[in-house]
Amino acid sequence: MFRVGIGFDIHRLEKGKKLVIGGVEIPSEYGFKAHSDGDIFFHALTDALLGAVGYGDIGQLFPDTERKWENTPSRVFLEEANRIINEKGYSVLNIDGFIVIQRPKILPYREKIIQNTAEILNIEPERVFIKGKTYEKIGEVGEGKAAFAEVVVLLKKEVKNEND
């Protein structure tokens, strides 16, 4: 039994903030303005996992109105989403995603982002793929004022009996 999930996340970029994507702190003048660390890739992926099993969304589970999530590393959200899908008997078959940011280039950090993701989800790195893209200087994303991520996940359930 298979289930597919899709996730999207966008955050504004501001001078002097940390740029954390896929759990990797990337050297940059600009970083995410967000309640947590603003990790667009982990947020999109968390939403994709939760969506695949029909379990609310990241904003419901970790409301940004709650102080306890302030400056939370986003791996915490991803770990919780993975626990939820595992509890329902699912595991990740594969992940494919886009990280869209005008600068800096994502390619040098791609392997590390894939490793982090695989490690948190307890899967082989071969099951995770991401593409870094620019926005061709179009609009606010193209001007470096924001960055976004889009992720698709496929989950597989180990079917133990017909009534599952």
Environment class of 61 (CB within 10 Å of its CB; exposed 0-12, middle 13-18, buried 19+)? middle
Shortest spacing between CB 38 and Zn ion, in angstroms:
6
129: enclosing H helix or E strand? strand 128-133
Interacting stretch for Zn ion, rule CB under 5 A, among 1-9, 18-26, 63-71, 85-93? 1-9
Q: Looking only at residues 87 through 146 of this chain, which bind Zn ion when binding is defined by CB under 5 A?
A: none
- Pattern 24-43, binding to Zn ion, x per CB under 5 A? -------------------x
Give the span between the Cα atoms of 158 and 93, in whole angstroms: 11
Binding residue (CB under 5 A) for Zn ion from 9, 37, 47, 150: 9
Q: Which of 46, 76, 41 is nearest to 58 (CA)?
A: 46
Q: For Zn ion, which residue has the nearest CB?
A: 43
Residue 47 lies near Zn ion (rule: CB under 5 A): no
Give the span between the Cα atoms of 23 and 114, in whole angstroms: 10
**Is 35 marked as binding a ligand?**
yes
Residues in the annotated binding site for a divalent metal cation: 9, 11, 43
